[in-house]
Structure 1
């Protein structure tokens, strides 16, 4: 089992979320929960599905998708002051 956080750009309404969730949740061993306001999807896979294939499923619906690297996001935070420049 693995979990990935995805940034999904191009969604214009909550129906976009429904389309993505229905398409991926219909796949065996795949679950995705998408937040329209944040443009984030949490993908959990218990089967043999490959990340690249699942991203392609979303991209075929017209969205831009990329994996969010939480470790990189943490290191990109500004350490100069509480208020970043």
Structure 2
């Protein structure tokens, strides 16, 4: 795993296995190579995390939109029913 003195971000369950493996391989490199790769790797990790957060927000918004549409369809059906009842009177 990533050594304790490495400045690479610690991996967790939110990172793809490929990034975890890349971090492990970077940590196994000599220190001079690790230093060159730490910043680009950190940027990729942040990008993956940001995309996951954005995906979560989009999924939540879609769920809310689906619920709103169900309420609107119900309201439309009730309005049509009320109209039909008034026309029948």
Q: What is the TM-score when the length of structure 2 is the normalising length?
A: 0.26
Q: Which has the higher contact order (CA 8 A, sep 6+)?
A: 1
Q: What is the TM-score when the length of structure 1 is the normalising length?
A: 0.27
Structure that is richer in strand per residue:
1
Structure of higher CA gyration radius: 2
